[in-house]
Amino acid sequence: MIKYILKNALSDYRNSYKSSFLSYSWVILHPLMLLAVYTFVFSQIMQARVDVSGGISYTVYLAVGILPWIVFSTAILQGTLGIVNNVNFIKKLNIPIYVYVAKEVVEQFFNMIVVLIILFIFLYFNGIAFTAKWFLVFIPIFLLFIFALGIGMFLSSINIFFRDVEKAIGIFLQILMWMLPIIYPWDIVPANWQWVIFYDPLFYYFNAIREVLIFDHIISMKYYIIMTVSSVLMFLIGFYTIRKLESDIRDSI
């Protein structure tokens, strides 16, 4: 089943850019344009209010947070639509429904490979040398994928019965991005509000990526435990929900 998911995700990934004039260039252009906008706004217009510690430029700090976030949020959006977008296949083929959601999420995470390549090159040209610790970044990335897959399976199942979910998820992700220190350092948040950040498990994924790539730190055991438990729980919730509702979903589409 895993082979089927990967094969079809790769096929859909290729086809999604085939008819585009700029083809695969959009994989690079989209995050770079968004990065340029945020960098201009926060480093020029709001320069006095953004102070990154460790002598790291704001552009570097932003890039390491916003680029993985784009992939993660897009994976959740597409995962939520995983069943709706594949209704014709679900009606014809006797394949577990979770396969279609997994295919959508995997397809988006192919972009993470491109994002990491961009980040490695970007960091190199900004004076941050490659070290062996950079390989640790694949751990939070993988766990983030499991987390996104769990959310995708859960939301796609609920979306069949409550179509408001697919309309609200984009707004929710925007709110979540601003609640997380994706585009700003977490330590500029007032002390009495920092608990909101630390109680959000997603903080540990994105901060772990920054700690490894920017500051060359080892990921702490606390981070590993929180990320692993959160990913496993989210995956189990999503998988249980989509399997439990599978017969009802098939009757409703």
Under the banding of pLDDT at 50, 70 and 90, the label for residue 227 is very high
Q: By C-alpha distance, which of 99, 236, 51 is closest to 154?
A: 236
Q: Which is higher by pLDDT, 185 or 198?
A: 198
Share of the chain above pLDDT 90, in %: 46
Q: How far apart are the first and last CA of the chain?
A: 23
Q: How many residues does the chain have?
A: 253
Q: Is residue 43 part of a domain?
A: no
What single letter denotes the amino acid at residue 27? V
Q: Is residue 177 part of a domain?
A: yes
Domains of the chain: total: 1
Under the banding of pLDDT at 50, 70 and 90, the label for residue 226 is very high
pLDDT for 16 equals 59
What single letter denotes the amino acid at residue 145? F
Q: Is residue 138 part of a domain?
A: yes
Under the banding of pLDDT at 50, 70 and 90, the label for residue 22 is very low
Q: Is residue 30 part of a domain?
A: no
Q: Is residue 47 part of a domain?
A: no
Q: Are 136 and 219 contacting, i.e. CB atoms less than 8 angstroms apart?
A: yes
Q: What is the pLDDT of residues 131-175, one digit of tens each?
A: 889 999 999 999 999 999 999 999 999 999 998 999 899 999 999
**Which residues are CB-contacts of 50 (< 8 A; sequence separation ≥ 6)?**
42, 43, 58, 184, 185, 188
Cα(113)–Cα(46) distance, integer angstroms: 31
Least confident of 24-33, 139-148, 185-194, 240-249: 24-33
Cα(24)–Cα(3) distance, integer angstroms: 24
Q: What is the pLDDT of residues 89-138, one digit of tens each?
A: 888 888 899 999 999 999 888 888 888 888 888 888 888 888 889 999 99
Residue 12 has pLDDT above 70, yes or no: no
Q: Provide the 10 A C-beta neighbour count for residue 56.
A: 17
Q: Is residue 35 part of a domain?
A: no
Under the banding of pLDDT at 50, 70 and 90, the label for residue 246 is very high
Under the banding of pLDDT at 50, 70 and 90, the label for residue 176 is very high
Under the banding of pLDDT at 50, 70 and 90, the label for residue 241 is very high
Q: Is residue 204 part of a domain?
A: yes
Least confident of 18-27, 82-91, 118-127, 242-251: 18-27
HSE (side-chain half, CA atoms, 13 Å) at 165: 22
Q: What is the DSSP letter of 66?
A: H
pTM, entire model = 0.87
Q: Are 155 and 20 contacting, i.e. CB atoms less than 8 angstroms apart?
A: no
Token look-up 């950079």 returns: 134
Cα(197)–Cα(181) distance, integer angstroms: 8
Can you tell me the mean pLDDT for 40-53? 61
Residue 47 has pLDDT above 60, yes or no: no
**Which residues are CB-contacts of 100 (< 8 A; sequence separation ≥ 6)?**
82, 83, 85, 86, 89, 90
Containing domain of residue 82, as a range?
55-252
Residue 195 has pLDDT above 60, yes or no: yes
